[in-house]
Amino acid sequence: MITGQYYRAGHSECIEAVLEHSGQGIKVINGDTCLEQVGLDEVKVASPIPGVASEVVFVTGARFVPRDKHHRWQFGQSRLAEKLERSKAVIIGAVIAVPVALYLMFFHLLPAAAQASVHFVPDEVIEQMGSQAFLIIEKTMLDPSELEASVKSDIESDWNNALDTLKLDRERYQLGFYRSDVLGANAFALPNGQIVMTDELAELLKDNRHASLAVLLHEIGHVKHQHSVKMVAQSAGAAIVVAMLFGDLETSSEVLLGTGSVLIESAFSRDMEREADDYALNKLVLLGISPVAFADAMRALAKAHQLELGDGEESRQYLSTHPGISERIEYAEQFTPE
């Protein structure tokens, strides 16, 4: 017999009682009154937690809590979980296995899932993603272009000639110019094919039109390989995984999700940048332009963003998610077309 407190379903008031159990069933008694009498298959035993009484839960919702918090029931549930919790080997194994499993999930499974999922995203969704993203970027980071007309005309001429030669759709790939104190000399692509070049970048490369075109081809590479859509799919997957792991722990999950997203995007976008670089270099060759033009663009960008090539700092500065500038320059100078 085990003494303890009995709680009726839906009531917080406890009744001092005694629980008796045998191979046939369980009986809870208070004096001469039988409070519960059920079979063993009609109860559940809470998972044992060190220092906490393991309660018996009846199908009616009533509960029996033993007075002895160290008591462990011999029925209802296997004691395997308790044994595992006390095993040092299992604990050490879990400490090692959990980070490994999370690494594989975030850096291998999620990228693979993102790669596979983009093929099922409708064109209408991609168009809407690009339009909405541009509205936000335009309001927060961009100002109307003040670029000299002749510089803009040269870039647009090279752009249109390249699209026609490479048989790329002019309707899809739209080039826009904006001034940006936030982005400085930069260019970016949106999922729907819209390419933005800042005035600062156009001015930086105006004396090297091939370098300017190389940057734009790099941005087309991002669109062709659907990198933006993949990033969205991967970020959504990361959010779902974190929500499943941490439930409603609002503050902790927000911090962990933010940190995880940064790490994921850092690892994944380096691969994307290399893929876009390859696209640009191959297209330069098809256009009869030396891949060194891309290296020239990287050198100019490094100078504009005050990077010292090869000093080890570049990976922590301008677009730290990108491969090192020195690495990209070397790759372009030694590039062999596919």
pLDDT digits (tens, 9 = 90+) for 262-300: 444 444 477 888 999 999 999 999 999 999 999 999 999
Cβ(142)–Cβ(136) below 8 Å: no
Within 51-193, strands assigned E span 56-58, 63-66, 143-144, 174-179, 187-189
Q: Give the model's pLDDT for residue 210.
A: 97
Q: Give the model's pLDDT for residue 206.
A: 96
Q: Give the model's pLDDT for residue 80.
A: 61
Domain with CATH 2.30.29 in the chain: 2-78
C-alpha 98/C-alpha 271 separation (Å) is: 25
Residue 289: phi, psi to the nearest 5? Answer: -110, 140
Q: Give the model's pLDDT for residue 72.
A: 81
The DSSP bridge partners found for residue 143 are 179
Q: Is 0.85 topped by the overall pTM?
A: no
Q: Give the model's pLDDT for residue 117.
A: 73
What residue ranges of the chain have pLDDT lower than 50?
A: 249, 251-268, 311-321
Give the H/E segment covering residue 229.
Answer: helix 227-246
CATH of 2-78, one of 2.30.29, 1.25.40, 1.10.3470, 2.40.50: 2.30.29
- Tokens, residue 185: 């000399």
Can you tell me which residue has the tokens 């395997």?
A: 80
Q: Give the model's pLDDT for residue 247.
A: 58
Cβ(211)–Cβ(293) below 8 Å: yes
- Side-chain-side CA neighbours of 191 within 13 Å: the count stands at 22
Angle formed at CA 184 by CA 323 and CA 158, multiple of 5 degrees: 80
Q: Give the model's pLDDT for residue 165.
A: 97
Packing angle, helices 250-286 and 292-304, rounded to 10 = 140
- Tokens, residue 48: 């044992």
